[in-house]
């Protein structure tokens, strides 16, 4: 199991994290080449999904340490009131209602 990135929170909302010493920033959208499309990211306070290009395996990950994936609205609507079509979300949050570190937001 990999260790979760160190998350730096600013004013209650995580905006950047460090993964293996590399700084990653919260973005509003991520381009997924295999889908040939841009996707919005589910907005939560404690963690955010980002694209990890320097490891093997899933390139969509969450700052909580879980992988991330692309979900339909019927799955993520319990966490937001805004339907934006398919959206990138934390796999752990979608499957268990908690991030990998146990937080809910």
Chain segment 7-27, per-residue pLDDT in tens: 554 556 778 887 777 888 888
Could you give the CA distance from residue 8 to residue 2 in angstroms, rounded to a whole number?
18
Structure tokens at 69: 């994936």
Structure tokens at 3: 């260790």
Model's pTM, two decimal places? 0.80
Q: What integer pLDDT is reported at residue 33 of this predicted model?
A: 84
Q: What integer pLDDT is reported at residue 3 of this predicted model?
A: 59
Is the distance from CB of 78 to CB of 72 less than 8 angstroms? no
- What single-letter DSSP state applies at residue 104? -
Query: Given the structure tokens 């499957």, which residue do they identify?
Result: 95
- CA 29 from chain centre, in angstroms, equals 11
CA dihedral 56, 6, 15, 12 (to 10 degrees): 140
Structure tokens at 105: 């937001």
Q: What integer pLDDT is reported at residue 1 of this predicted model?
A: 47
Given a cut of 60, whether residue 55 has pLDDT beyond it is: no
Q: What integer pLDDT is reported at residue 17 of this predicted model?
A: 82
Q: What integer pLDDT is reported at residue 57 of this predicted model?
A: 54
Confidence of residue 80 (pLDDT cuts 50, 70, 90): confident
């Amino acid at each position: 199991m990999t260790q979760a990135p160190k998350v730096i929170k600013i004013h209650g909302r995580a905006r950047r994290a460090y993964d293996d010493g590399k700084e990653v920033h919260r973005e509003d959208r991520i381009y997924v080449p295999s889908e040939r499309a841009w996707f919005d990211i589910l907005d939560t306070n404690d963690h955010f999904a980002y694209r990890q290009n320097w490891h093997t395996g899933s390139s969509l990950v969450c700052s909580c340490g879980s992988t991330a994936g692309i979900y339909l609205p019927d799955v993520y609507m319990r966490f937001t009131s805004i339907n934006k079509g398919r959206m990138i979300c934390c796999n752990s949050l979608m499957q268990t209602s908690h991030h990998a570190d146990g937080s809910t937001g």
